[in-house]
Structure 1
Amino acid sequence: MTRFELAYGKEMLAFELPASVKVQEIKAKASQPIPDIEQAIRQAVAHPLGTAPLAKVVKAGDQVVIVVSDVTRLWIRTDVLLPVLLDVLNEAGVPDKDISIVTATGDHRVQTLEEHTAICGTKVLARVPIYDHECKADDLVDLGKSSQGTPILVNRRVWEADKVILTGGIAYHLLAGFGGGRKSIAPGVCGYEMIQKNHALALKDAGPSGINPNIETGKMDGNPVAEDMLEIALRVGVDFILNVVVNEKKEFVYIAAGELEQAHLAGCRVTEEIFGIEIDEKAELAIVSSGGYPKDIQLYQAIKALDNSTYAVREGGVIILVSECSDGIGSRPFEEFFKHGEVENMNAQLHANFTMPGFVSLRTASICRKTPVILISSLPEDVVKRVKMIPAHSADEALQLAAQILGHQPDSVYLMPHGGNTFPIVN
């Protein structure tokens, strides 16, 4: 037998498969962390992609707004970027009193002082003011509609700034293809209706799964949600971006600086190089872990790993998802959306009232209909069945269930120890 382990909560879960089974691991390629981050940031903003150096983009007298991600994206380590960015702006003739920060909260709640401190750092907050975007504020600026009919209502402070600089992180995204770049504007600092209408484009020209076939992780061309986001960001106006790519240890491995599209695309290519893992063919079974604690404390967050694993499994295959879920489902709207029943009913409900948790529920249900998903977790069996998965209490039980569904021992298996980060790409 061949033995291997995957992270499960704060422990490791051991699996044993016959030596005759072809087992391969899908893991991120080695990446070199940036040794001197301040120097690298200064180098990037002095030699940006697609635009003049930042020191030439801004000038004395400009009112500058820096857009930052909210507390749900602390992995970006904005508190490391901001002190250097402020110093560069000061050196270019823009004093702290002419700079403000706006959090790209999208439709999330406003942040606490403690969260502002976690995002920006104490020293930055002592230098410049920070404002939370509120998607239902009554002073949003109306810029009409995008070519896809999305109403563009944008944060007034961002719109009225002389110069807008976006910070953020670039990673795979199951709705927008990739995060970062234009997402700091749309949905980051736009109105609630814009966010809902944009995300609902995922259902436009839907395929059998109820979702547009161009809505894929790693895909932006032809992706209606991604293209709409970019159009809106360009309409609002972005003067410079400073985005990062981080590895699984949260170390900076690339800094994307410059013009919105070019710099973002460069960061996407680096993300693909590290986390886009080429495979020769799909397997009968994928065993995927979110990476253990704290990444697997709730099922809602584990769906990203599940979604990525679908790209490694052939038609008629099975997925075993390893996620302890010590905090439960993690999203009540996600859990409740399953009460609408089958994929068709969920799809109809989502068309009537789009929500992101509802979309993730529909995506989950679509995956489970096409490929049985066995979940090893601490969730009660009835809860697991409610979200259309098959409960298992151990690795052995999960492997037995997989063999029963397949009708035989799997001939090929992919292991995905950090499933939320790695994206399988068939050669």
Structure 2
Amino acid sequence: MIELPSDIWYGDKPLLFEPPESWEVSVFRMAGDSAREVEKEEIFRVLREPIGQKALSKLAEERGEAVVVFDDMTRPTKLKGIAKAVIEELKRGGVSDENITFICANGAHGTYDRDDFAKKLGEEIVESYPVFNHNPLGNLDYLGETSAGTPVEINSEVMSYSLKIGLGCILPHPQFGYSGGAKIVLPGIAGMRSIAYNHGVIGGWSAAMAVRELHPTCQMAYGRVNEENVMRRDAEEAARMAKFDFIVNSLVNTRRENTHVFAGDIVEAQRKGVEEARKHYATQIGFEFDVVISNAYSKASEAAIATWPSLCLKQGGTLVVVCNSKTGQISHYIHGRWGMRRKGGFLYLPPPDTLKRAGKVIFVSKYQEKQPWLEVYDEVVRVKTLEEMVEEVGKEEKKVAVFPDATIQKPF
């Protein structure tokens, strides 16, 4: 029996899958999948003994106020325990409840509601503190340009606080190499001009990839690069311009448990976290499979990330993407599609070329939607259950690979 995590933020009930006996199945798990959830004491330790920064309570004592910027629902991070510990340390430093505000770093992802904030931060925080979405189209302070020319426009509410704290996770990322650190600032709480320049002009990510290459440090960036990535360096410069003080980043397993926590300077703490992340998310892979079953869980609303295991297929094999995302695919104002005839996003991204290795794509989801996000094919076979998928693939002898959460596993 194979267990695939499923229904992120909506019960997290796993799918149980019994493959046909005739299939030769290999399950590829990431190295850190069995890592245990971090203890509460360890969270407090990293807040009190941070990397490259004063203790959070000491910063709180000096500033007397704080804004807490947290990652959005496209990221798997359960922040309730971490956010409560941060509040406790702020209060330990003398900051009152009235001087603490939370801002969601939704970047170009659209907005979220109270239910989302409660799932991410816990009911107690939503009841006790103001929680706002970031608006990338307004309410921005212009801080100047980075050395690469990015116009730095940052959420003005965040800029009004003397102590700025970020909460999020470090995961393999297709553009930055790894997330975490300064990415909470750019794109997290940046304006559209800033995001478009960083992602498009500097990184090169857009439909124009068909006629020109990405920046070399962005090519196959997923889990391969970090500090040498030009988009990250640009974001870190923007974070310094915004005087962003403190970051708390975690690593997660495929149960979305925080297994490691790194805190402190927004650059140095992320660097330390990536040292562990390189090992934690690493996944040994094989090649020339007839069928690859790739589960999208941690980033289910960005299921295209789960298509990278197609590189493990033999030419013309079958890629199965499993994605139970009740909210569907994310509305991305920069990279997303906004219609059938007018694609819309300023830096619209077509499907990855790696998909062309597959001769057939099967999309498994109990939440199907008429959305052409795998446009490399005229038609994607859509089924609602794994049992239907088996009938579509066939029960004859096959060499099959399974990736339990391809949205956070990395093949390097």
The normalised TM-score by structure 2 is 0.78
Contact 1:287 1:320 in 2 (8 A): yes
Distance 1:165 1:222 in 2: 24
Per-residue CA deviation, residues 69-99 of structure 1 (Å, 9 max, x unaligned), is: 23443x3222222222111111122222332
Q: Quick one: structure 1 residues 89 and 328, their matched pair in 2 at CA, closer, same or farther if it must change by over 3 Å?
A: closer
Partner residue in 2 for 1:270: 276
Aligned to 1:12: 17
> Which position in structure 1 is the counterpart of 2:411?
424
Q: 1:289, CA displacement in angstroms? A: 2.3
Contact in 1 for aligned 2:168/2:180 (Cα 8 Å): yes
Structure 2 unaligned regions, length at least 5? 7-14, 382-387
Q: Do the aligned partners of 1:106 and 1:187 also contact (CA within 8 Å) in 2?
A: yes
Query: Which SS does the other structure have where 2:98 is aligned?
Result: helix
How far is the alpha carbon of 1:206 from its aligned partner? 5.2
- The whole-number CA distance in structure 2 between the counterparts of 1:384 and 1:46 is 45
**Shift in alpha-carbon separation, 1:324–1:263, aligned structure 2, 3 A:** closer
Q: Point out the more displaced range, 374-383 or 282-291.
A: 374-383
Kindly state the Cα deviation for residue 287 of structure 1 after the two structures are TM-superposed: 0.7
What per-residue deviation string (whole Å, max 9, x for no partner) do you get for residues 109-137 of structure 1? 34333333333333324443333321122
Q: Distance in 2 between matches of 1:156 and 1:382?
A: 35
2:51–2:268 contact (8 Å) kept in structure 1 = yes
Q: Which amino acid in 1 is paired with 2:235?
A: M
What amino acid maps onto 2:132 in structure 1? Answer: Y
Q: Secondary structure at the match of 1:276?
A: coil
CA spacing shift, 1:317–1:270, aligned 2, 3 Å: farther
The alignment status of 1:388 with 2:377, answered yes or no, reads yes
Distance 1:380 1:387, change over 3 A: farther
Match of 2:321 in 1: 322
Structure 1 residue 214 corresponds to structure 2 residue 217:
yes
Identity %: 20
Distance of 2:21 and 2:217 partners within structure 1: 37
Alignment of 1:331-350 (within 5 A): none
Partner of 1:158 in structure 2? 158
Contact 1:242 1:256 in 2 (8 A): yes
Distance (Å, rounded) in 2 between the aligned partners of 1:267 and 1:110: 28
- How many Å separate the matches in 2 of 1:78 and 1:327? 21
Give CA deviations for 1:6-25 in whole Å, capped at 9, x if unaligned: 75974526256576xxx643
Give the corresponding residue for 1:32: 35
Q: Max radius of gyration: which structure?
A: 1
Partner of 1:64: 66
Alignment of 1:73-84 (within 5 A): 73=75, 75-84=76-85
Is 1:377 paired with 2:376? no
Residue 380 (structure 1) shift: 9.6
The 5-angstrom pairing of residues 18-417 of structure 1 reads 24-29=26-31, 30-34=33-37, 36-37=39-40, 39-73=41-75, 75-137=76-138, 139-200=139-200, 201-203=202-204, 211-215=214-218, 216-218=221-223, 219-279=225-285, 282-285=287-290, 287-290=292-295, 301-307=302-308, 309-310=309-310, 312=312, 316=315, 318=317, 320-323=319-322, 330=329, 354-355=346-347, 358-359=348-349, 362-364=350-352, 366-369=353-356, 371-377=358-364, 386-388=375-377, 391-392=380-381, 394-395=389-390, 397-398=392-393, 414-417=401-404
Q: Quick one: distance in 2 between partners of 1:235 and 1:220?
A: 20
Given the superposition, is the C-alpha separation of residues 16 and 237 from structure 1 closer, same or farther in structure 2, using an over 3 Å criterion?
farther
Q: Aligned to 1:423, what secondary structure does the other structure show?
A: coil
User: CA offset at residue 153 of structure 1?
Assistant: 0.6
Distance 2:107 2:325 in 1: 27
- Contiguous gaps of at least 5 residues in structure 1: 341-348, 404-408
Q: CA deviation at 1:260?
A: 1.1
The SS at the match of 1:270 is helix
Query: What number of residue pairs does the alignment pair up?
Result: 386
Structure 1 window deviating more from structure 2 (182-191 vs 103-112): it is 103-112
Q: Is the 8 A contact 1:374 1:398 kept in 2?
A: no
Equivalent residue letter for 2:321: V
What is the DSSP-based 3-state SS (H/G/I as helix, E as strand, rest coil) of the residue aligned with 1:260?
Answer: coil
Aligned partner of 2:140: which letter?
Answer: L
